[in-house]
Amino acid sequence: MAELANAAMNSKAWPFQEARQLLKRLERSNTDKDCVIFQTGFGPSGLPHIGTFGEVARTTMVQRAFETLSTRPTKLICFSDDMDGFRKVPEDVPDRDRMKEDLNLPLCRVHDPFGTHESFAAHNNDRLCSFLDRFGFNYEFLSAATCYQQGRFDDILQRVLERFDHVMEIMLPSLGAVTEGRKNTYSPFLPISPKTGHVLQVPTLERNVTRGTIVYEEPDGERIEVPVTGGQVKLQWKPDWAMRWVALAVDYEMYGKDLIPSAELCTKICRALGGHPPAGMAYELFLDASGRKISKSKGTAGVTVDTWLRYASTESLAAFMFQKPKTAKRLFAEIIPKSVDDYHQHLRAFPGQEDTARLNNPVWHVHHGHPPESTLTVPYSMLLNLASATSATREEVLWGFIRKYNPEASPQKNPDLVVAAQGAVRYFQEQMLPKRQFVSPNERQWAAITELQLRIWFWSGAAEAETIQSVIYAVGRRHHFGDMKEWFSILYQVLFGSSQGPRMGGFVEIFGTAETARLIEERLTATALVRPVVRSDFNLFVLLLLTHQDGLASFADIRNGMTDLWSSRLAVNAQQQSSRTDSARVIEQFIAELNDEDALCDLNFVEKVENAEGLRITPAGKEFIGELYTKVPNSLT
């Protein structure tokens, strides 16, 4: 443990950096606290969301890092500001007209539109606790209503009253132009009207520190004196935040970048009240797919927690939250597959790492230092492409390929595969299938893809990912794809209906050579431009007569396979071709000529093919056929 603590003191992982800052704060404050308090806040005017998860998960990561550095006990408080006034009816609740009647009441007194709890706040607080429990967080829940009404904040509320002028000096400059009128309308105290129950934003007309009361004016003009304690008033949210830091002795709290100015004000108010501001971190906000800040009120939405968990595990979400919290990140469905694969890559790396590397590994922080072994033997991204290739509706389809690739795999031995296969099928059906856009290849692309198909079709020997990948590269270069990204992009668009896809060699290894060849045939038949199928296929056949290279089968096997392929294409495209009979005759004549292998060495072969009805060879084909003449005699022996 001592070695681990020493490594933690020098770790560059951000939770340890935050934990070390907290240690310094505790040393500066020179307090011997029984427990170090971490806090996160929640506004119960809505349901918990992915930002709630992110803040609690990240705070817990700092808490665990601190526990590695120090023997002091810690506690995480999740605080709900359910005394806040109900200012706006949410869009996603039933009986909205009825809820309008409760505007300006404390959230803890707003009726529950769902009919399950005593108040809207109680409903959302319960959902928050269920949400946090679902993910196994260890926390203490506190509500503003309970703390105010039971007197937990009374001492500090009295102190706010005593130091009212100092608090006002801090707050007023933040409100805009400092005028006498503004000074007279703002107050850190928000009385709860005994007449209407509303949270009133009214000026404080008189203060009596001895009695611990303020005087304000009701909307009807009546002046009322109320104590600042016992839940008779609440504070404006910024003074309230600072008051909680003092009353709950908070040592650490993080917040979004948009709250930096508010946190700076609260730091000043906290000191004015005699407290020590907590250590903390300002994290960046999440962005949607177009780079805009996620905001329900502005109509920009990212992926929800429930959406993420429909496709992937909680741990993969936590690992995503770990990464660079001070950098804005896009949060949308398309990042889920990579996040899952990254998480399992970190799991696989962990056992072989030294302490320093382990403490920098996200899975140490996700699993509190004890990450499990990954049982995901097929990457999530590969499962997605298997689902796409098979148009899978059930994970059992994927398990057929998984077992062929890894016969030892099973749901019992590989629970991560179970979760990933289920998620991949759902992701394909709900995220990929509606967006698939297959493209029709042009003639050069058609020729290259068909050559690749035939090379895979007639593959012999072990179908190893790296060997297949090298052949795919070679085909792309042969057809003059200077940029391999262009070559792979057209493959993905033709085969998967997407501009991105798997490492093709690995895909073919798992999916199978015959299955991949059939997939290419299916996609070419469905998406290719209508043309007599033999226009670009003869030269490809010739290219494949490098028979004893690249793992290809014998000449006879290739010739028979080509016969079957052309016949199949003619049958599929019969209704689309007006010259089926002529094409069939040309094919038969050509195949007959191929029975004489010496004919392939005829220097007039290119002209013979081009002079056949409607046929021509692409430039790439001509170039390679020229190469072929010097090789065929040896390759056919």
**In the beta sheet, which residues pair with residue 190?**
234
Within a domain: 240: no
Same domain as 145, residue 13: yes
Cβ atoms of residues 346 and 373 within 8 Å:
no
Largest CA distance in the chain: 114
Provide the pLDDT for residue 560: 57
Higher pLDDT, 583 or 325: 325
514, pLDDT greater than 80? yes
* Among 210, 235, 260, residue at a domain's last position: 235
Q: What is the CATH number of the domain that holds 66?
A: 3.40.50.620
298, pLDDT greater than 90? no
Same domain as 135, residue 9: yes
* Among 336, 366, 396, residue at a domain's last position: 366
Cβ atoms of residues 17 and 58 within 8 Å:
no
Within a domain: 492: no
Same domain as 387, residue 338: no
Domain tally, the chain: 5
Burial class (CB in 10 A: 0-12, 13-18, 19+), 523: buried
Same domain as 101, residue 20: yes
Cβ atoms of residues 67 and 97 within 8 Å:
no
Per-residue pLDDT of 94-126, as tens digits, reads 888 899 999 999 999 999 999 999 999 999 999
Within a domain: 255: no
Task: In whole angstroms, give the CA distance from residue 465 to residue 461.
Answer: 12
Within a domain: 387: yes
Within a domain: 16: yes
Q: What is the mean pLDDT of residues 246-268?
A: 95
Same domain as 96, residue 55: yes
DSSP notation for 265-317:
HHHHHHHHTT--PPB--EEPPEE-TTSPBPBTTTTB----HHHHHHHS-HHHH
Same domain as 384, residue 361: no
* Among 396, 418, 435, residue at a domain's last position: 435
Provide the pLDDT for residue 379: 93
Within a domain: 187: yes
Q: What is the mean pLDDT of residues 189-194?
A: 96
Provide the pLDDT for residue 190: 97
Instruction: Identify the three-state secondary structure at position 198.
Output: coil
Q: What is the mean pLDDT of residues 372-381?
A: 95
Same domain as 114, residue 33: yes
Provide the pLDDT for residue 355: 92
Burial class (CB in 10 A: 0-12, 13-18, 19+), 275: buried
Same domain as 390, residue 295: no
Count of alpha carbons within 13 Å of 213, Cβ hemisphere only?
8
Lowest mean pLDDT among 1-5, 189-193, 238-242: 1-5
Tokens standing for 583?
Answer: 């094409």
Any idea what DSSP says for residue 106? B
Same domain as 540, residue 633: yes
Q: What is the mean pLDDT of residues 321-344?
A: 92
Q: What is the CATH number of the domain that holds 196?
A: 2.30.30
% the chain with pLDDT above 90: 54
Buried b (16+ CB within 10 A) or exposed e, 337-356: bebbbbbbebbeebeeeeeb
Pairing verdict, β 189-191 and 233-235: antiparallel
Within a domain: 443: no
Per-residue pLDDT of 441-491, as tens digits, reads 887 888 788 878 877 877 767 888 899 999 899 889 888 888 889 999 999
- Torsion sign over Cα 287, 496, 306, 322: negative
Within a domain: 70: yes
Same domain as 63, residue 189: no
66, pLDDT greater than 80? yes
Tokens standing for 248?
Answer: 């709950």
Tokens standing for 126?
Answer: 């319960």
Q: What is the mean pLDDT of residues 234-263?
A: 96
Tokens standing for 538?
Answer: 């003869």
Pairing verdict, β 206-208 and 140-143: unpaired
Same domain as 612, residue 566: yes
Buried b (16+ CB within 10 A) or exposed e, 553-575: bebeebbebbeebbeebbeebee
State the residue range of the domain holding 217.
Answer: 176-235
Average pLDDT, rounded, for the chain: 82
Provide the pLDDT for residue 523: 85
270 — pLDDT class (breaks 50, 70, 90): very high
Q: Please give the single-letter amino acid code of residue 214.
A: I
Provide the pLDDT for residue 182: 62
% the chain with pLDDT above 70: 78
Same domain as 587, residue 632: yes
Pairing verdict, β 286-287 and 329-330: parallel
